[in-house]
Amino acid sequence: MSKTEKLTAPDLQIPQNSAIFAKGLNFTYNAKSNFAKHALTNVDINIDKGEFVAIVGHTGSGKTTFVQHINALIRVQSGYLNVLGQDLSARKPDLKALRKQVGMVFQYPEYQLFADTVLADVCFGLKNFQVDKDKQTQMAKEALELVGLEFDKVKEKSPFDLSGGEKRRVALAGVLAMKPQILVLDEPTAGLDPRGKTEILTLVKRLNKEEGVTVMMVSHDMNEVYENADRVLVFRDGGVAYDMPPRELFRLEDEIASMNLEVPAMAAFCNELERQGFVLSDGCKTVDEVLAAVVALKEARNV
């Protein structure tokens, strides 16, 4: 990292409503050894507050590396990164303030549970961020209810006695309790049954729409990406290859296939319809929406 590469905020014209702003972000693992591995090359991304962004890409495409930058779990090596107005390329960013605002849910978050009771585990983050003692219980209660658990039933239980799905929800509550403005999720639905998946996704979507939480979700399930995200970033070889709304992205069937990604079922269906001359609005993504649109189209033709 040379001095001349160092960018500063005023030169960059960060958009007003930006939640995450990256410019020329580079990252190399084991930079000084023979095993050096480029993970990010010149990544430019701007994500506005309130967006629901999905991040997809192959293993090793750099998506996890990028996502961990947002929480300063990985420090900026070169380039510029600004999260919620904080310059993370600065030498000493205020990590506590940052991590309080950026909630991060890792893969299999239930494996991070540790406390004697569910309540204590959910309060762990609150305690670390020095929230008032009397407020902690209230906030934990809200978070647990948000994820669909009955506070009085679970609060005194050991988190290890819960079922897999419940554990994950407790872990999620542990992050949500801090009321983060940005929520980063790394494959939040991996290993869950279909119902558990829907529940988690509905919750995330609700947080995004109702509370205005900015969501970044890493996922390998193109169907859930397609149905939930407003915007998809496709990572390839450490850079952003595509950055567009999901409907547009999944029209590019050949490009998607060349990156070994799947076209979601409903997108493939709509693409085929379009080829046959039936164009539905871009808003139709779930089965129900597409069905309604097809029925409407049919009725319109019959008239």
Partner 1 sequence: MFRDVTFGQYYPASSFVHSMDARVKLLLTLLFLVGIFFVQSFVVYGFVAVFLLTVIFVSRVPLRSVLRSIKGIIVLLVLTAVINVFFTKGADAAESPLWAWSPWNGFTIEIYVNGLKTAGKIFLRLVLLVMGSSVLTLTTTPVDLTHAVESLLKPLKLIKFPVHEFALIMSLTLSFIPSLIDETDRIIRAQKARGADFDTGGLVKRAKAFVPILIPLLVGGFRRAEELANAMNSRCYEGATKRTCMRVMKLGWRDAVASLLVVAFFAGVFVLYGMRGQWNFITWLYY
Q: Which residues bind partner 1 (CB under 8 A)?
A: 68, 71, 73, 96, 99-100, 102-104, 106-107, 109, 111-115, 124-125, 128-129, 160, 174-175, 178
Of 116, 113, 139, nearest in space to 126 by CA: 139
Smallest gap from residue 100 Cβ to partner 1 (A): 7
CB of 47 to partner 1, least distance (A): 18
Residues 6+ apart with CB under 8 A from 96: 128, 129
Nearer to partner 1 among residue 23 and residue 99 (C-beta): 99
Nearest residue (CB) to partner 1, 115 versus 252 = 115
Q: Kindly tell me which of 108 and 242 has the beta carbon lying closer to partner 1.
A: 108
Helices (H), 180-228: 194-210, 222-228
> 38 or 231: whose CB is closer to partner 1?
38
263/253 Cα distance (integer angstroms): 7
Q: Are 183 and 207 spatial neighbours (Cβ–Cβ below 8 Å)?
A: yes
Determine the Cα–Cα distance for residues 33 and 221; give it in Å rounded to an integer: 35
CB of 8 to partner 1, least distance (A): 27
Return the beta strands (E) in 154-262 as ranges.
Answer: 182-186, 214-218, 231-236, 239-244
- H/E stretch holding 47: strand 37-48
Minimum Å distance from CB 168 to partner 1? 13
- Provide the minimum distance between the beta carbon of 122 and partner 1 in the complex, in angstroms, as a whole number: 10
Cβ closer to partner 1: 109 or 246?
A: 109
